[in-house]
Amino acid sequence: MSATAPSLGLLGAGNMATAMVSGWMKADPGMGGRLLVTDRKSGRAAALAERHGLRHTPSNAELVEAADIVVLCVKPVDVERVLREVSDLVTPRKAIASVAAGVSTATLETILDVDAPVFRFMPNVGVSVGAGTLAYSAGRFTDTAAEQMVLEVFSALGEVVPLEERLFDAATALSGSGPAFLGLIVEAFEDAGIVAGLTHVDARRLFLSTVSGTAALLREDDLSCSDLRRMVTSPGGTAAAGLAAMERGGVRGSIIDGVSAAMRRAGELG
């Protein structure tokens, strides 16, 4: 492991790699010199490298040799083959960080020839703007220095939430698929705003600001959701009327059902 800022080698240059590179470059434009990318043959790595001023290596082997942290960004089905190809180049002084859904640290450790520090993340698309949510778990052979190095790098992408690996399917459903669920909800509120007479632009502006303000209030004041609702819901008032109609419509139950279905699906794919 290098004493200076670590170099990162991304195996794979698809959607998630692109999102993470955007997040890292936003956090620190100087990071370009420490990022290397490869792909299978699509040319996406070269395009990503050109867009952000990164290095694109022609082979996975060259990338692994140069990287302090090897970031596995290939599809879960490709993980074993890609990691096996380079496993003789992985030393205990390099860290492996995988974002592959459903692939455990134990599986990654079994594929590798050596007892290298292995870390698993489940990021969401918010990483591309440095506001991601990343469930995180460490494997068996980690040490404090490797863990600090990896956490420092991934914390630049958003909030890193340590979790037992058995809970990763739940995190995949809640925060991994969460942006899709919230996209649906924001869209529904935009539609509701339009029905109420607002323009789409104004409805979106009002509601997105309400979402981020509510999240900030819940977080900074450590308020419970029920206390927040009571603060806003005066007897016989507008919020009371709205909440009663939403609860009759089964909003809460359908959200719980949706997240449960996503979690079951994550388990089937893993």
185: Cα within 13 Å, side-chain hemisphere = 16
- Rounded to whole angstroms, the Cα distance separating 95 from 104 reads 15
Residue 96 interacts with ligand NAP (CB under 6 A): yes or no = no
Q: Which residue lies nearer to ligand NAP by CB, 99 or 108? A: 99
40 binds ligand NAP, rule: CB under 6 A: yes
Per-residue burial over 219-228, b = 16 or more CB atoms within 10 Å of its CB, e = otherwise:
eeeeeeeeee
128 binds ligand NAP (CB under 6 A): no
Under the criterion CB under 6 A, does residue 35 sit at the interface with ligand NAP?
no
Site for ligand NAP in 167-196 (CB under 6 A): 176
Report the residue from 60, 128, 133, 137 that binds ligand NAP according to the rule CB under 6 A. 60
What is residue 240's DSSP assignment? H
Quick check: 99 binds ligand NAP (CB under 6 A)? yes
Instruction: Report the residue closest to ligand NAP, judged by CB.
Output: 14
Choose one: 122-130, 136-144, 211-219, 224-232; the region binding ligand NAP (CB under 6 A). Answer: 122-130
User: Should residue 38 be labelled a site residue for ligand NAP when binding is judged by CB under 6 A?
Assistant: yes
Strands 35-38 and 55-56: parallel
Q: Which helix (H) or strand (E) holds 38?
A: strand 35-38
* Residues listed for the chain: 270
Which residue's CB is nearer to ligand NAP, number 90 or number 203?
90
Looking at beta carbons only, is 62 or 78 nearer to ligand NAP? 78
Between 166 and 219, whose beta carbon lies closer to ligand NAP? 166
Report yes or no: 99 and 92 within 8 Å, Cβ to Cβ: no
Contacts of 210 (CB under 8 A, 6+ apart): none
What Å distances lie between residue 100 and 32, 125, 191, 268, CA to CA?
Answer: 23, 14, 35, 14
User: In this chain, which stretch among 69-77, 154-162, 199-207, 212-220 interacts with ligand NAP, using CB under 6 A?
Assistant: 69-77
When asked if residue 70 is in the footprint of ligand NAP (CB under 6 A), the reply is: no
- Residue 13 C-beta: closest distance to ligand NAP, Å: 4
Q: Which stretch binds ligand NAP (CB under 6 A): 7-15, 87-95, 110-118, 200-208?
A: 7-15
Instruction: Select 2 or 15, whichever has its Cβ closest to ligand NAP.
Output: 15
Phi, psi of 99 (to 5 degrees): -110, 10
Which residues, in sequence order, are bridge partners of residue 119?
97, 138
Residue 104 binds ligand NAP, judged by CB under 6 A:
no
Q: Which residues pair with 10 in a beta bridge?
A: 37, 71
Bridge partners of residue 70, in order along the sequence: 9, 96
- Nearest distance from residue 185's CB to ligand NAP, in Å? 18
Residue with tokens 């995988």: 98
DSSP, collapsed to helix, strand or coil, labels residue 52 as helix
Residues that bind ligand NAP (CB under 6 A): 11-17, 38-42, 44, 60, 73-76, 78, 82, 99-101, 122-123, 125, 176
